[in-house]
Amino acid sequence: MSKILLLLLSLLLSIHGFSQNIEYEIYYENDSCSIGPAKFIRGHNGDVVGIIGKAPIYDSLKLYKPMVFVIDEIGDTSSVWLDKQDTAVMYTEITLIHGYEPGYYLSGMGYDLNTKDQPEWFTIFTRMDSNYNIVWERCFRFDHTYWAYTYKAETLYDGSLMFCCNPGVYTDFFIFHLSSNGDSLSYHYFNGIESGRIWDITEGHQTYQYSLYSNGSYDPPGYISCTRLTIDSNFSIVDYSYLPEWLSPPLSAKKLPDNDFVLCGSTDIYYPGIDPKYYISGYRINSSGNIGNEVFLTNPDTISRAGEDTGIDFYDPSQIYLGGTHNFQGLWGQNPSWIVISKLDDTLGIIYEKYLGGDEVYTLRSVVATDDGGVLLIGSQREFGTEPYFRDSFFIKLDSTSGPVTIPDESELQLKEVLLYPNPGRNTLSIRTALKGSSFTLFDIKSIPVFNCKLENLVTTITVDHVRAGQYYYVIQDQNRIIESGKWIKSK
Protein backbone atom coordinates (compact mmCIF):
# COMPACT_ATOMS: atom_id res chain seq x y z
CA MET A 1 0.00 0.00 0.00
CA SER A 2 1.36 3.38 -1.00
CA LYS A 3 2.11 5.81 1.77
CA ILE A 4 3.68 9.17 2.37
CA LEU A 5 5.65 9.27 5.61
CA LEU A 6 6.17 12.83 6.85
CA LEU A 7 8.46 13.54 9.79
CA LEU A 8 8.07 17.10 10.97
CA LEU A 9 11.11 17.49 13.15
CA SER A 10 11.23 20.34 15.62
CA LEU A 11 14.64 20.15 17.26
CA LEU A 12 15.40 21.50 20.72
CA LEU A 13 18.74 23.23 20.44
CA SER A 14 21.27 22.62 23.16
CA ILE A 15 22.70 26.05 22.45
CA HIS A 16 20.27 28.54 20.91
CA GLY A 17 21.25 29.31 17.32
CA PHE A 18 24.11 26.78 17.37
CA SER A 19 22.47 23.86 15.58
CA GLN A 20 20.88 23.64 12.18
CA ASN A 21 17.34 22.30 11.90
CA ILE A 22 16.12 19.56 9.66
CA GLU A 23 12.72 21.16 9.16
CA TYR A 24 11.13 18.05 7.69
CA GLU A 25 11.74 14.71 6.01
CA ILE A 26 9.24 13.27 3.54
CA TYR A 27 9.46 9.73 2.20
CA TYR A 28 7.17 8.60 -0.60
CA GLU A 29 7.16 4.79 -0.34
CA ASN A 30 5.45 1.83 -1.95
CA ASP A 31 6.36 -1.80 -1.33
CA SER A 32 5.18 -2.99 -4.74
CA CYS A 33 6.25 -0.10 -6.98
CA SER A 34 9.31 1.92 -7.85
CA ILE A 35 8.87 5.57 -6.86
CA GLY A 36 11.39 7.62 -8.83
CA PRO A 37 11.73 11.42 -8.60
CA ALA A 38 12.70 13.45 -11.65
CA LYS A 39 13.44 17.17 -11.77
CA PHE A 40 12.18 19.56 -9.03
CA ILE A 41 12.21 23.36 -9.10
CA ARG A 42 11.19 26.32 -6.95
CA GLY A 43 7.61 27.05 -7.98
CA HIS A 44 5.10 29.83 -7.50
CA ASN A 45 4.06 31.02 -4.00
CA GLY A 46 7.05 29.50 -2.19
CA ASP A 47 6.22 25.92 -3.20
CA VAL A 48 8.68 23.37 -4.51
CA VAL A 49 7.23 21.38 -7.40
CA GLY A 50 8.45 18.51 -9.53
CA ILE A 51 7.73 15.14 -11.05
CA ILE A 52 7.53 11.67 -9.55
CA GLY A 53 7.13 8.53 -11.67
CA LYS A 54 5.57 5.31 -10.41
CA ALA A 55 5.97 1.91 -12.05
CA PRO A 56 6.09 -1.84 -11.30
CA ILE A 57 9.54 -2.63 -9.94
CA TYR A 58 10.57 -4.87 -12.84
CA ASP A 59 9.42 -2.48 -15.56
CA SER A 60 10.94 0.74 -14.34
CA LEU A 61 12.77 1.71 -17.50
CA LYS A 62 9.28 2.74 -18.60
CA LEU A 63 7.87 4.69 -15.66
CA TYR A 64 4.35 5.14 -16.81
CA LYS A 65 2.31 6.76 -14.02
CA PRO A 66 3.60 10.30 -13.48
CA MET A 67 2.43 12.89 -11.00
CA VAL A 68 3.19 16.51 -10.26
CA PHE A 69 4.25 16.56 -6.60
CA VAL A 70 4.01 19.83 -4.64
CA ILE A 71 5.56 20.68 -1.25
CA ASP A 72 4.56 23.91 0.43
CA GLU A 73 6.68 26.03 2.79
CA ILE A 74 5.82 23.97 5.91
CA GLY A 75 6.20 20.54 4.33
CA ASP A 76 2.56 19.80 3.47
CA THR A 77 2.22 17.92 0.20
CA SER A 78 -0.27 17.59 -2.62
CA SER A 79 -0.16 15.84 -5.98
CA VAL A 80 -1.82 15.75 -9.38
CA TRP A 81 -1.75 12.46 -11.29
CA LEU A 82 -1.03 12.76 -15.02
CA ASP A 83 -1.44 9.12 -16.04
CA LYS A 84 -3.54 8.22 -19.06
CA GLN A 85 -5.64 5.22 -19.93
CA ASP A 86 -3.89 2.84 -22.38
CA THR A 87 -0.87 5.18 -22.58
CA ALA A 88 2.44 5.16 -20.73
CA VAL A 89 3.89 8.61 -20.07
CA MET A 90 7.23 9.50 -18.47
CA TYR A 91 7.88 13.18 -17.72
CA THR A 92 11.37 14.17 -16.59
CA GLU A 93 11.56 17.93 -17.25
CA ILE A 94 9.61 20.78 -15.62
CA THR A 95 10.19 24.51 -16.15
CA LEU A 96 8.57 27.59 -14.62
CA ILE A 97 6.51 30.08 -16.64
CA HIS A 98 6.44 33.69 -15.38
CA GLY A 99 4.40 36.60 -16.66
CA TYR A 100 0.71 37.33 -16.81
CA GLU A 101 -0.13 33.64 -17.38
CA PRO A 102 2.14 31.87 -14.87
CA GLY A 103 2.40 28.12 -14.80
CA TYR A 104 4.65 25.23 -15.82
CA TYR A 105 5.85 23.31 -18.86
CA LEU A 106 6.31 19.56 -18.54
CA SER A 107 8.09 17.52 -21.17
CA GLY A 108 8.64 13.81 -21.55
CA MET A 109 7.87 10.81 -23.68
CA GLY A 110 5.30 8.06 -23.92
CA TYR A 111 3.85 5.24 -25.97
CA ASP A 112 0.60 3.39 -26.60
CA LEU A 113 0.37 0.42 -24.20
CA ASN A 114 -1.18 -1.59 -27.01
CA THR A 115 2.20 -1.48 -28.76
CA LYS A 116 4.22 -2.40 -25.65
CA ASP A 117 6.16 -5.22 -27.36
CA GLN A 118 7.32 -2.76 -30.02
CA PRO A 119 6.38 0.62 -28.58
CA GLU A 120 5.89 3.56 -30.88
CA TRP A 121 7.29 6.37 -28.76
CA PHE A 122 6.28 10.00 -28.94
CA THR A 123 7.41 13.24 -27.26
CA ILE A 124 4.82 14.99 -25.09
CA PHE A 125 4.62 18.61 -23.94
CA THR A 126 2.09 19.70 -21.31
CA ARG A 127 1.33 23.24 -20.17
CA MET A 128 -0.19 23.67 -16.71
CA ASP A 129 -1.40 26.83 -15.01
CA SER A 130 -0.20 27.86 -11.55
CA ASN A 131 -2.97 25.76 -9.96
CA TYR A 132 -1.74 22.65 -11.81
CA ASN A 133 -4.64 22.47 -14.26
CA ILE A 134 -3.75 21.27 -17.74
CA VAL A 135 -4.06 24.08 -20.30
CA TRP A 136 -2.94 22.11 -23.36
CA GLU A 137 -0.98 19.03 -24.41
CA ARG A 138 0.96 18.42 -27.61
CA CYS A 139 2.54 15.21 -28.92
CA PHE A 140 5.19 14.94 -31.66
CA ARG A 141 6.92 11.98 -33.26
CA PHE A 142 10.43 13.05 -34.11
CA ASP A 143 12.39 10.89 -36.52
CA HIS A 144 14.73 9.17 -34.08
CA THR A 145 15.02 6.33 -31.60
CA TYR A 146 13.96 6.90 -28.01
CA TRP A 147 16.48 4.57 -26.42
CA ALA A 148 18.97 6.44 -24.22
CA TYR A 149 16.92 9.52 -25.08
CA THR A 150 17.87 12.62 -23.07
CA TYR A 151 16.59 16.16 -23.18
CA LYS A 152 16.52 19.51 -21.42
CA ALA A 153 14.00 22.35 -21.61
CA GLU A 154 13.99 26.05 -20.76
CA THR A 155 11.20 28.62 -20.65
CA LEU A 156 12.26 31.71 -22.62
CA TYR A 157 11.46 35.32 -21.74
CA ASP A 158 8.55 35.51 -24.16
CA GLY A 159 6.90 32.50 -22.52
CA SER A 160 7.83 30.05 -25.29
CA LEU A 161 9.68 26.79 -24.68
CA MET A 162 13.09 25.68 -25.92
CA PHE A 163 13.43 21.89 -26.00
CA CYS A 164 16.88 20.43 -26.62
CA CYS A 165 17.15 16.69 -27.25
CA ASN A 166 19.83 14.07 -27.88
CA PRO A 167 18.13 11.32 -29.86
CA GLY A 168 19.11 7.79 -28.89
CA VAL A 169 22.72 7.03 -28.08
CA TYR A 170 23.99 9.65 -30.50
CA THR A 171 25.61 12.96 -29.60
CA ASP A 172 23.70 14.67 -32.41
CA PHE A 173 21.08 16.99 -30.95
CA PHE A 174 18.16 19.08 -32.07
CA ILE A 175 16.42 22.19 -30.74
CA PHE A 176 12.65 22.40 -30.96
CA HIS A 177 10.92 25.74 -30.30
CA LEU A 178 7.32 25.69 -29.08
CA SER A 179 5.10 28.75 -28.62
CA SER A 180 3.21 29.48 -25.40
CA ASN A 181 0.10 28.20 -27.18
CA GLY A 182 1.76 24.91 -28.11
CA ASP A 183 2.46 25.71 -31.74
CA SER A 184 5.60 24.43 -33.43
CA LEU A 185 7.82 27.43 -34.29
CA SER A 186 11.11 25.94 -35.50
CA TYR A 187 13.33 22.86 -35.54
CA HIS A 188 17.13 22.82 -35.82
CA TYR A 189 19.40 19.76 -36.05
CA PHE A 190 23.10 19.72 -35.11
CA ASN A 191 25.67 17.04 -35.99
CA GLY A 192 29.34 16.70 -36.79
CA ILE A 193 31.78 18.74 -34.71
CA GLU A 194 28.89 20.72 -33.17
CA SER A 195 27.25 17.60 -31.76
CA GLY A 196 27.37 16.75 -28.07
CA ARG A 197 25.16 15.60 -25.24
CA ILE A 198 23.30 18.61 -23.80
CA TRP A 199 22.98 18.72 -20.01
CA ASP A 200 21.54 22.16 -19.29
CA ILE A 201 20.32 25.42 -20.85
CA THR A 202 20.47 28.99 -19.57
CA GLU A 203 19.23 32.21 -21.14
CA GLY A 204 21.22 35.42 -21.04
CA HIS A 205 19.81 38.30 -18.98
CA GLN A 206 18.00 40.72 -21.30
CA THR A 207 19.71 39.19 -24.34
CA TYR A 208 18.58 37.05 -27.21
CA GLN A 209 21.33 34.49 -26.74
CA TYR A 210 21.27 31.19 -24.90
CA SER A 211 23.91 28.87 -23.48
CA LEU A 212 23.89 25.09 -23.91
CA TYR A 213 26.16 23.06 -21.63
CA SER A 214 27.48 20.15 -23.67
CA ASN A 215 29.67 17.10 -23.27
CA GLY A 216 31.40 16.36 -26.59
CA SER A 217 30.90 19.46 -28.76
CA TYR A 218 33.99 20.82 -30.56
CA ASP A 219 36.19 18.18 -28.92
CA PRO A 220 39.91 18.51 -29.61
CA PRO A 221 41.31 15.40 -31.34
CA GLY A 222 41.52 12.45 -28.94
CA TYR A 223 39.93 14.33 -26.07
CA ILE A 224 36.38 14.52 -24.71
CA SER A 225 35.59 17.90 -23.19
CA CYS A 226 32.68 19.85 -21.78
CA THR A 227 31.74 22.95 -23.71
CA ARG A 228 29.42 25.95 -23.40
CA LEU A 229 27.73 26.65 -26.72
CA THR A 230 26.29 30.11 -27.37
CA ILE A 231 23.32 30.21 -29.73
CA ASP A 232 21.44 33.22 -31.04
CA SER A 233 17.71 33.86 -31.42
CA ASN A 234 17.76 31.89 -34.68
CA PHE A 235 19.23 28.92 -32.76
CA SER A 236 22.52 29.05 -34.66
CA ILE A 237 25.78 28.42 -32.79
CA VAL A 238 27.69 31.73 -32.75
CA ASP A 239 30.40 30.94 -30.20
CA TYR A 240 31.73 28.24 -27.89
CA SER A 241 34.13 28.00 -24.97
CA TYR A 242 35.62 25.04 -23.15
CA LEU A 243 34.55 24.38 -19.60
CA PRO A 244 37.11 23.48 -16.89
CA GLU A 245 39.46 20.57 -17.52
CA TRP A 246 38.44 17.16 -16.15
CA LEU A 247 34.83 18.26 -15.76
CA SER A 248 32.30 15.54 -16.59
CA PRO A 249 28.50 15.15 -16.45
CA PRO A 250 26.00 15.52 -15.00
CA LEU A 251 26.23 19.28 -15.50
CA SER A 252 23.88 21.99 -14.26
CA ALA A 253 24.21 25.76 -14.50
CA LYS A 254 22.44 28.91 -13.38
CA LYS A 255 22.86 32.56 -14.38
CA LEU A 256 23.81 35.14 -11.76
CA PRO A 257 22.40 38.70 -11.83
CA ASP A 258 25.71 40.13 -13.09
CA ASN A 259 25.66 37.73 -16.10
CA ASP A 260 28.28 35.43 -14.60
CA PHE A 261 27.05 31.89 -14.15
CA VAL A 262 27.63 29.14 -11.63
CA LEU A 263 28.24 25.65 -12.93
CA CYS A 264 28.51 22.28 -11.25
CA GLY A 265 29.50 18.82 -12.35
CA SER A 266 31.66 15.86 -11.46
CA THR A 267 35.43 16.26 -11.70
CA ASP A 268 37.29 13.00 -12.31
CA ILE A 269 41.08 13.39 -12.57
CA TYR A 270 43.14 10.63 -14.16
CA TYR A 271 46.92 10.54 -14.64
CA PRO A 272 48.89 7.41 -15.61
CA GLY A 273 50.32 5.62 -12.59
CA ILE A 274 48.42 7.77 -10.08
CA ASP A 275 45.21 6.87 -8.28
CA PRO A 276 42.22 8.74 -9.79
CA LYS A 277 40.63 11.58 -7.84
CA TYR A 278 36.90 12.27 -7.70
CA TYR A 279 35.14 15.49 -6.67
CA ILE A 280 31.83 17.28 -6.89
CA SER A 281 32.92 20.60 -8.34
CA GLY A 282 31.49 24.08 -8.59
CA TYR A 283 32.66 27.07 -10.64
CA ARG A 284 31.83 30.74 -11.00
CA ILE A 285 32.54 31.69 -14.63
CA ASN A 286 32.21 35.08 -16.29
CA SER A 287 30.54 35.79 -19.62
CA SER A 288 33.89 35.47 -21.40
CA GLY A 289 34.34 31.94 -20.11
CA ASN A 290 37.02 32.73 -17.52
CA ILE A 291 36.91 30.96 -14.14
CA GLY A 292 36.58 33.40 -11.26
CA ASN A 293 36.17 30.94 -8.37
CA GLU A 294 36.07 27.20 -7.93
CA VAL A 295 35.31 24.70 -5.18
CA PHE A 296 35.73 20.93 -4.82
CA LEU A 297 33.69 18.80 -2.40
CA THR A 298 34.30 15.37 -0.83
CA ASN A 299 37.45 13.32 -0.34
CA PRO A 300 39.17 12.39 -3.61
CA ASP A 301 39.52 8.62 -3.06
CA THR A 302 35.75 7.93 -3.19
CA ILE A 303 33.56 8.22 -6.30
CA SER A 304 31.24 11.23 -5.99
CA ARG A 305 28.78 12.61 -8.51
CA ALA A 306 26.91 15.91 -8.82
CA GLY A 307 23.12 16.04 -8.54
CA GLU A 308 21.54 14.18 -11.46
CA ASP A 309 18.99 16.86 -12.46
CA THR A 310 20.06 20.00 -10.59
CA GLY A 311 23.25 20.04 -8.54
CA ILE A 312 23.51 23.78 -7.92
CA ASP A 313 20.91 26.42 -7.03
CA PHE A 314 20.40 29.71 -5.23
CA TYR A 315 17.58 32.04 -4.24
CA ASP A 316 19.94 34.68 -2.83
CA PRO A 317 23.14 34.82 -4.96
CA SER A 318 25.22 35.23 -1.80
CA GLN A 319 24.03 31.80 -0.60
CA ILE A 320 24.62 29.10 -3.21
CA TYR A 321 23.87 25.43 -2.60
CA LEU A 322 25.94 22.68 -4.25
CA GLY A 323 25.21 18.98 -3.83
CA GLY A 324 25.48 15.43 -5.09
CA THR A 325 26.04 11.83 -4.07
CA HIS A 326 29.10 10.63 -2.13
CA ASN A 327 30.22 7.02 -2.68
CA PHE A 328 27.97 6.91 -5.73
CA GLN A 329 26.59 3.39 -6.34
CA GLY A 330 24.70 3.66 -9.61
CA LEU A 331 21.92 1.16 -10.26
CA TRP A 332 23.56 -2.00 -8.97
CA GLY A 333 25.82 -0.96 -6.06
CA GLN A 334 25.06 -2.26 -2.58
CA ASN A 335 27.26 -0.09 -0.36
CA PRO A 336 26.20 2.86 1.80
CA SER A 337 26.11 6.21 0.04
CA TRP A 338 25.57 9.75 1.25
CA ILE A 339 23.82 12.93 0.17
CA VAL A 340 26.40 15.71 0.24
CA ILE A 341 25.26 19.33 0.46
CA SER A 342 27.37 22.44 0.80
CA LYS A 343 26.37 26.04 1.34
CA LEU A 344 28.67 28.52 -0.41
CA ASP A 345 29.09 32.28 -0.42
CA ASP A 346 29.21 34.29 -3.67
CA THR A 347 32.93 33.52 -4.10
CA LEU A 348 32.19 29.80 -3.60
CA GLY A 349 33.76 29.80 -0.16
CA ILE A 350 32.40 26.90 1.89
CA ILE A 351 30.07 27.93 4.71
CA TYR A 352 29.19 24.33 5.53
CA GLU A 353 29.58 20.85 4.05
CA LYS A 354 27.36 18.04 5.34
CA TYR A 355 26.77 14.37 4.53
CA LEU A 356 23.37 12.79 5.19
CA GLY A 357 22.45 9.13 4.79
CA GLY A 358 24.82 6.21 5.13
CA ASP A 359 22.06 3.76 6.17
CA GLU A 360 20.92 2.90 2.60
CA VAL A 361 21.83 3.51 -1.04
CA TYR A 362 21.07 7.16 -1.84
CA THR A 363 21.14 9.14 -5.09
CA LEU A 364 20.61 12.91 -5.08
CA ARG A 365 18.50 14.17 -7.99
CA SER A 366 17.77 17.86 -7.27
CA VAL A 367 19.04 20.67 -5.04
CA VAL A 368 16.41 23.38 -4.63
CA ALA A 369 17.18 26.62 -2.75
CA THR A 370 14.00 27.78 -1.00
CA ASP A 371 12.58 31.27 -0.51
CA ASP A 372 13.37 31.22 3.24
CA GLY A 373 17.11 30.70 2.67
CA GLY A 374 17.09 26.95 3.28
CA VAL A 375 17.50 24.06 0.88
CA LEU A 376 15.41 21.06 -0.14
CA LEU A 377 17.21 17.87 -1.18
CA ILE A 378 15.31 15.44 -3.44
CA GLY A 379 16.39 11.99 -4.56
CA SER A 380 15.91 8.25 -4.37
CA GLN A 381 16.91 5.60 -1.86
CA ARG A 382 16.83 1.82 -1.71
CA GLU A 383 17.63 -0.77 0.90
CA PHE A 384 20.74 -2.93 0.73
CA GLY A 385 20.26 -6.19 -1.13
CA THR A 386 17.29 -5.02 -3.21
CA GLU A 387 16.88 -4.82 -6.98
CA PRO A 388 17.94 -1.58 -8.74
CA TYR A 389 14.43 -0.21 -9.15
CA PHE A 390 13.17 -1.15 -5.68
CA ARG A 391 13.40 2.48 -4.63
CA ASP A 392 11.55 5.24 -2.83
CA SER A 393 11.71 9.03 -3.00
CA PHE A 394 13.05 11.29 -0.23
CA PHE A 395 12.66 15.02 0.44
CA ILE A 396 14.85 16.53 3.18
CA LYS A 397 14.61 20.22 4.10
CA LEU A 398 17.44 22.01 5.92
CA ASP A 399 16.86 25.48 7.30
CA SER A 400 18.97 28.55 6.57
CA THR A 401 21.32 28.34 9.58
CA SER A 402 24.81 26.95 9.32
CA GLY A 403 25.66 25.19 12.58
CA PRO A 404 26.03 21.44 13.14
CA VAL A 405 22.90 19.38 12.45
CA THR A 406 21.39 17.35 15.26
CA ILE A 407 19.66 14.19 14.01
CA PRO A 408 16.69 13.42 16.29
CA ASP A 409 15.54 9.97 17.37
CA GLU A 410 12.61 10.01 14.92
CA SER A 411 14.95 10.05 11.92
CA GLU A 412 16.86 7.09 10.50
CA LEU A 413 19.37 9.39 8.79
CA GLN A 414 23.01 9.37 9.76
CA LEU A 415 25.08 12.54 9.61
CA LYS A 416 28.71 13.26 8.87
CA GLU A 417 30.30 16.68 8.91
CA VAL A 418 33.83 15.29 8.81
CA LEU A 419 35.60 13.02 6.30
CA LEU A 420 38.73 11.04 7.22
CA TYR A 421 40.77 9.52 4.41
CA PRO A 422 42.39 7.30 3.48
CA ASN A 423 40.88 4.72 5.83
CA PRO A 424 42.76 2.40 6.14
CA GLY A 425 45.80 4.63 5.73
CA ARG A 426 49.55 4.33 6.04
CA ASN A 427 51.66 7.50 5.86
CA THR A 428 49.19 10.37 6.07
CA LEU A 429 45.70 11.00 7.38
CA SER A 430 43.55 13.83 5.96
CA ILE A 431 40.63 15.37 7.83
CA ARG A 432 38.12 17.40 5.84
CA THR A 433 35.57 19.57 7.66
CA ALA A 434 34.08 23.04 7.33
CA LEU A 435 33.92 23.24 11.16
CA LYS A 436 37.11 25.23 11.44
CA GLY A 437 38.45 25.58 14.96
CA SER A 438 37.26 22.14 16.03
CA SER A 439 39.72 19.68 17.53
CA PHE A 440 40.80 16.20 16.45
CA THR A 441 42.08 13.54 18.88
CA LEU A 442 43.28 10.06 17.95
CA PHE A 443 43.16 7.34 20.64
CA ASP A 444 44.65 3.85 20.76
CA ILE A 445 42.60 0.82 21.79
CA LYS A 446 43.43 1.57 25.45
CA SER A 447 41.84 5.05 25.11
CA ILE A 448 45.25 6.73 25.42
CA PRO A 449 45.57 9.86 23.22
CA VAL A 450 48.29 9.48 20.60
CA PHE A 451 47.68 12.64 18.61
CA ASN A 452 45.75 15.90 18.96
CA CYS A 453 45.43 18.96 16.74
CA LYS A 454 43.22 21.92 15.88
CA LEU A 455 41.46 21.85 12.53
CA GLU A 456 42.01 25.35 11.19
CA ASN A 457 41.68 24.62 7.47
CA LEU A 458 39.11 22.90 5.28
CA VAL A 459 41.52 19.97 4.87
CA THR A 460 44.13 19.15 7.51
CA THR A 461 46.71 16.49 6.57
CA ILE A 462 48.83 14.95 9.29
CA THR A 463 51.80 12.58 9.09
CA VAL A 464 51.22 9.27 10.88
CA ASP A 465 54.52 7.52 10.16
CA HIS A 466 55.22 7.38 13.88
CA VAL A 467 51.92 5.64 14.68
CA ARG A 468 52.07 1.85 14.94
CA ALA A 469 49.91 -0.28 12.67
CA GLY A 470 46.58 -1.21 14.22
CA GLN A 471 43.14 0.05 15.09
CA TYR A 472 42.52 3.52 16.50
CA TYR A 473 39.56 5.67 17.47
CA TYR A 474 39.07 9.35 16.84
CA VAL A 475 36.91 12.09 18.33
CA ILE A 476 36.22 15.50 16.80
CA GLN A 477 34.90 18.19 19.13
CA ASP A 478 33.57 21.67 18.51
CA GLN A 479 32.82 24.02 21.41
CA ASN A 480 33.01 21.08 23.87
CA ARG A 481 30.47 19.13 21.84
CA ILE A 482 31.38 15.82 20.18
CA ILE A 483 30.67 16.32 16.49
CA GLU A 484 31.84 12.93 15.28
CA SER A 485 33.68 9.85 16.41
CA GLY A 486 34.73 6.69 14.65
CA LYS A 487 37.40 4.13 13.87
CA TRP A 488 40.56 4.54 11.82
CA ILE A 489 42.97 1.75 10.82
CA LYS A 490 46.71 2.22 10.30
CA SER A 491 47.98 -0.20 7.66
CA LYS A 492 51.29 -2.00 7.90
Give residue-wise pLDDT tens across range 337-378.
999 999 999 999 999 999 998 888 999 999 999 999 999 999
Q: Is 473 exposed, middle or buried (0-12, 13-18, 19+ CB in 10 A)?
A: middle
The model's pLDDT over 258-313, given as tens digits with 9 standing for 90+, comes to 889 999 999 999 888 888 899 999 999 998 889 999 999 998 889 999 999 999 99
At 313-327, the pLDDT tens digits run 999 999 999 999 999
**SS3 assignment, position 147:** coil
- CA gap 218, 229 in Å, rounded: 9
What pTM did the predictor assign? 0.91
Model confidence pLDDT, tens digit, residues 51-71: 998 887 766 555 568 999 999
For the chain, count helices (H), then strands (E). 0, 38
Using DSSP, state whether 124 is helix, strand or coil. strand
Those residues whose C-beta lies under 8 Å from the C-beta of residue 13, and which sit 6 or more positions away, are: 19, 406
DSSP assignments along 418-450, one per residue = EEEESSSBSSEEEEEES-TTEEEEEE-TTS-EE
pLDDT at 205 over 80: no
Dist CA 105 CA 333 (whole Å): 34
Q: Report the mean per-residue pLDDT for the chain.
A: 87
Cross-strand partners of 178: 161, 184
